[in-house]
Amino acid sequence: VAEPLSHFTTPPPGTGPEGNAEAVQNAMATTLFHWTLHPWAIYAVVGLAIAYGVYRKGRLQLISAAFEPLLGSRANGAWGKVIDM
């Protein structure tokens, strides 16, 4: 709710004046632009990396498993539990 209202009251440069029907359309279009393709593309890349590690490398489905090359066996111990919280 906050982002469309922010774009409605202070529209992006070059989109027209604030507070009218055109500003409502521009606010929703800008919000949907920010929250549709771009974030989901990032989520897909992260998901593919996790899937590769799980299905090809046999790693656990935990965030700490990504730190295993960096932490070694400590990623399965106390540090791994801290990372997974």
Please check whether residue 36 is in contact with residue 25, taking contact to mean a CB–CB distance below 8 angstroms: no
Quote the percentage of the chain above a pLDDT of 90: 21
pLDDT at residue 15 greater than cutoff 90:
no
Gyration radius of the chain's alpha carbons: 21
Split at pLDDT 50, 70, 90, the class of 56 is: very high
Question: Under 8 Å CB-to-CB from 8, ≥6 apart: which residues?
Answer: 18, 19, 23, 24, 27
Q: What does the pLDDT read at residue 62?
A: 86
Quote the percentage of the chain above a pLDDT of 70: 100
Where do the domains of the chain lie?
2-35, 39-84
pLDDT at residue 44 greater than cutoff 90:
yes
